[in-house]
Amino acid sequence: MAIRGLVFDAYGTLYDVQSVRAVAVELCGEKGELVTQLWRLKQLEYTSLRGLMQHYEDFWSVTRASLEFALESVGLTPSPSLCEPLMQRYLHLDLYPEAREALNSLKDRKLVILSNGSPKMLQALTEASGIAHLLADVISVDLAKTYKPNAAVYALVEPSIGMAKHEILFVSSNSFDAIGAKHFGFNVAWIERGGGEAAPADSNVSPFEFFRLLRGRAETLGSTADFLLPPLLSEPNARRAGGMVV
């Protein structure tokens, strides 16, 4: 089966959401690590809740609301002096070290981003990281007015990329996104960024370890990715999970 196009998730797949940590620690001191993890977890929860309620607000608004929740939950006031630098960091997240090389190596195929991010956020990210020229399109869920893993989001891809599902490989490190894309009908590669590590010895874990345990494992809801990839996005390192041949 020939794969002609690749669709990438942005947050956590191409861009490191943990790269807000340094600013969070600088501004929030010893609570910065906890703020970092609570912020991301609440951000994902709010996208799911808004999707279920069918009450859409864009990802910038969701990200700000989840940041304010995280700050207040650890006893910090969500003042502009805290929120503005952290929100700006979300427009300049670090590209994972291997992502640029991987995209360059795949540029003979059509490359697209499909993301929960708002158009403004995604434009800022792709331009700041210097990968905009490698992408055929950057698709925001804003067009569907809902969030992943709603099928209406994945349905945005085929008209944009001009290909059928079986010609597309969807790549994500977010397990909920991977099973959503698989359930929709795409070929899927899941990047195991947080998987494969030893289980904790006891319940005394760091905020990041807790995040990894919750968000870094494959979901057990009946849909599995076709390929499991280590952080380095390269075909020789892929392990087939469902027997598909690319």
Mean pLDDT across the chain? 90
Give yes or no: 177 in active site. no
Q: What is the mean pLDDT of residues 231-237?
A: 47
**Which of 156-170, 208-222, 226-240 shows the lowest mean pLDDT across its residues?**
226-240
Which of the pair, 230 or 55, is modelled with greater confidence? 55
How far apart CA 246 and CA 86 sit, in angstroms, is 40
User: Which residues are CB-neighbours of 55 under 8 A, at least 6 positions away?
Assistant: none
The two three-digit tokens of residue 162, written as one number: 């001009």
Asked if the model's pLDDT at residue 140 lies above 70, the reply is yes
Note the pTM of the prediction, 2 decimals.
Answer: 0.90
How far apart CA 178 and CA 226 sit, in angstroms, is 10
- Catalogue the E-assigned strands of 54-180: 94-95, 110-115, 137-140, 168-172
* Main-chain dihedrals φ then ψ at residue 165, nearest 5 degrees: -55, -45
Q: What is the mean pLDDT of residues 42-63?
A: 98
What's the CA dihedral at 213, 243, 245, 115 to 10 degrees?
Answer: -30
Structural domains for the chain: 5-16+93-240 (3.40.50.1000), 17-89 (1.10.150.240)
Asked if the model's pLDDT at residue 242 lies above 70, the reply is no
Q: What pLDDT band is residue 6 in, cutting at 50, 70 and 90? A: very high
Per-residue pLDDT tens for 94-135? Answer: 999 889 999 999 988 999 999 999 999 999 999 999 999 999
| pLDDT of amino acid 195 | 60
Q: What is the mean pLDDT of residues 195-221?
A: 80
3-state helix, strand, coil in the chain (%, to 5): 50, 15, 35
Each residue of 130-164: b (16+ CB within 10 Å) or e?
ebeeebbbbbbbbebbbbbbbeebbebbbebbebe
| pLDDT of amino acid 1 | 58
